[in-house]
Amino acid sequence: MSNCHHAFPETQRRGVYRAIHERRDVRSQFLPDPISPEVLERLLQAAHHAPSVGFMQPWDFIVIESREVRASILALFEQENARAAERFSGERQDLYRGLKLQGILESPLNLCITCDRRRGGPHVLGRNSIMDTDLFSTCLAVQNLWLAARAEGVGVGWVSILDPAQLSQVLNLPEHVYPVAYLCLGHVSEFLGQPELEAKGWRSRLSLEELMHANSWGQPFARAFAQGK
Ligand SMILES: Cc1cc2c(cc1C)N(C[C@H](O)[C@H](O)[C@H](O)COP(=O)(O)O)c1[nH]c(=O)[nH]c(=O)c1N2
């Protein structure tokens, strides 16, 4: 029971944490069933309610259903993925080549969330020192959509093994619009209990304790906390 009267009721709080902990990056479990327009609208509204620097709302949503366009993007992925595999060697390369890293055609819908770097004019409140805050804002829209999708039972997979210039060309993006996230969306046969990369032995979750620092970099938080610093 929370002692803060602004907190959500217990069951709703659990729902928020459940979406966070059970959200997955989906590549292998997509079903072909379409996403209803109502669900898609709710997901896009969730994305559109993300925080943004100076309330810039720099995002646009390109909904891609065309199999032809998706096939073009898959070709871009294949090209980049072959190059990516070359960065690893030996067993690691074999493992990499065995990973499924996109569900572009298996998912019924692809979505590109872009960032219009000119939106709001040349002076956006809060975007004077760190110019990439527009990109950061767009990532938050992605995360909002990803969490809402989990609550709706819809899987999302982020495909970043794409050359942004080539992707922009296929999607006909103007020069000032950057393709932040290329996403695959669809209903799923299951949500895995852990990241697929972890299940396949690529990498495990780090422990939170190792990542917490007290006051400055390198001062382990747990020890400093125990010593009352
Ligand atoms: C910016 C960015 C870019 C990518 C990803 C994520 C993010 C945040 N992820 C998904 C990533 O592998 C996944 O989030 C982690 O492995 C953790 O798994 P869960 O998301 O918790 O299931 C991802 N996955 C994939 O199969 N192909 C890809 O190209 C990418 N690219």
8 Å CB contact between 145 and 48: no
- Please check whether residue 120 lies inside any domain of the structure: yes
Other beta carbons within 10 Å of 46: 19
- Please check whether residue 210 lies inside any domain of the structure: no
- Please check whether residue 132 lies inside any domain of the structure: yes
CATH (domain of 40): 3.40.109.10
Amino acid at 222: A
- Please check whether residue 77 lies inside any domain of the structure: yes
Q: In what order do the strands lie in the sheet with 177-187?
A: 59-64, 109-116, 177-187, 154-159
Q: Which atom of ligand 1 is nearest to the CA of 24?
A: 22
The span from the CA of 186 to the CA of 207, in Å, is 31
For 111, the domain range is: 24-189
| Maximum CA extent, the chain | 61
**What's the domain count of the chain?**
1
The span from the CA of 47 to the CA of 58, in Å, is 11
The span from the CA of 35 to the CA of 53, in Å, is 31
CA 24–ligand 1 middle distance (angstroms):
9
| DSSP run (H or E) holding 183 | strand 177-187
- Please check whether residue 7 lies inside any domain of the structure: no
CA 160–ligand 1 middle distance (angstroms):
8
pLDDT tens string, the chain, 229 residues long: the values are 556 889 999 999 999 999 999 999 999 999 999 999 999 999 999 999 999 999 999 999 999 999 999 999 999 999 999 999 999 999 999 999 999 999 999 999 999 999 999 999 999 999 999 999 999 999 999 999 999 999 999 999 999 999 999 999 999 999 999 999 999 999 999 999 999 999 999 999 999 999 999 999 988 887 656 665 5
Establish whether residue 150 lines the binding site of ligand 1, counting it when its CB lies within 6 angstroms of any ligand atom.
no
pTM score of the predicted model: 0.96
How far is the first Cα of the chain from the last one, in angstroms, to the nearest whole number?
Answer: 29
Which of 25, 107, 182 gets mutated to test ligand 1 (max ligand atoms within 8 A of its CB)? 25
- pLDDT (0 to 100) of residue 226: 62
- Please check whether residue 228 lies inside any domain of the structure: no
**Predicted ipTM?**
0.99
- Please check whether residue 221 lies inside any domain of the structure: no
The span from the CA of 152 to the CA of 40, in Å, is 10
**CA-proximal residue: ligand 1, atom 6 (nearest):** 158
- pLDDT (0 to 100) of residue 205: 97
